[in-house]
Amino acid sequence: MVGAMTTPVTLASLQQMMVRGEKIACLTCYDSSFTRVLESAGVEVFIIGDSLGMVLKGHESTVPVTVADMIYHAANVARVGESALRVVDMPFSSYVNPDQALGNAARLMGEGGAHMVKLEGGANKAAIVAHLVGHGIPVCGHIGLLPQSVHKLGGYKVQGRDDAGARALLDDARALEEAGAGLLVTECIPADLATQITAAVTIPTIGIGAGPGCDGQVLVLYDMLGITPGKRPRFVRDFLRDTCSVPAAIEAYVAAVKNGSFPAAEHCF
């Protein structure tokens, strides 16, 4: 039985989990009610994600989400959150240059209660990451499939399938770590590549559609509860279907991440 955490999760404690080989359980979270449920189930990291644009606001992508949206939902989580590390997405066009990024990241932390901000991109965002870290703002990188760039990428496609793409993602991961990123999300990449990236960096990696070789796993909360309309992505498992309640489904997810049964082969690329 998975239990609630008793002490706050920090980047240092995630590093210790990585060293011990203990998997990190992460989910998206957008409001106070789910904050309590997720923390009771033992979820260690919340991503207050711009995915809220799709699952809460009904947009076709994350692009229309604003900094104000992110602050509102992050504050809802922070108001009652006690233990999980809160990682808040910087939305589309909110980090075009270092100074703009710093101003918006400061708002996400000061008004939204973020412990860390997350931005999409690899080596091309290293200077912005370094600028934020240099001003005391912890940063989580995000490589692979970049939802904010879905129009540029031509849709939601697996990234890094060929040798050149794989090398570029490895270089991106190293560049983000060198710039000072403390966490790294890898999305929709081949499982073997995600394992290579995890071995190539010394910061924890959190995978979504990236196989079991990452240090932790994340899913969109509404996806793992099976209530997102439309076709379910390959990397998603509906945990509510086999349980009797939402709290039980979340506990089952945490347990599956911890014991390595999720993601299974059918969830990988």
Using an 8 Å Cβ cutoff, are 95 and 70 in contact?
A: no
Residues 6+ apart with CB under 8 A from 192: 211, 213
Using an 8 Å Cβ cutoff, are 116 and 86 in contact?
A: yes
Question: CA-based angle 188:97:69, to the nearest 5?
Answer: 65
Q: What are phi and psi of 183, to 5 degrees?
A: -140, 160
Three-class SS state of 257? helix
According to DSSP H, which parts of 98-190 are helical?
98-110, 126-134, 150-153, 163-179
- Cα separation, 239 vs 252, whole angstroms: 7
Sign of the Cα pseudo-torsion (250, 256, 258, 262, in order)? negative
> Is 187 considered catalytic here?
yes
- Cα separation, 114 vs 104, whole angstroms: 12
Q: Which of 120, 177, 187, 251 is catalytic?
A: 187
Token reading at 259:
């014991």
- Cα separation, 233 vs 231, whole angstroms: 6
Instruction: Provide the annotated active-site residues.
Output: 187
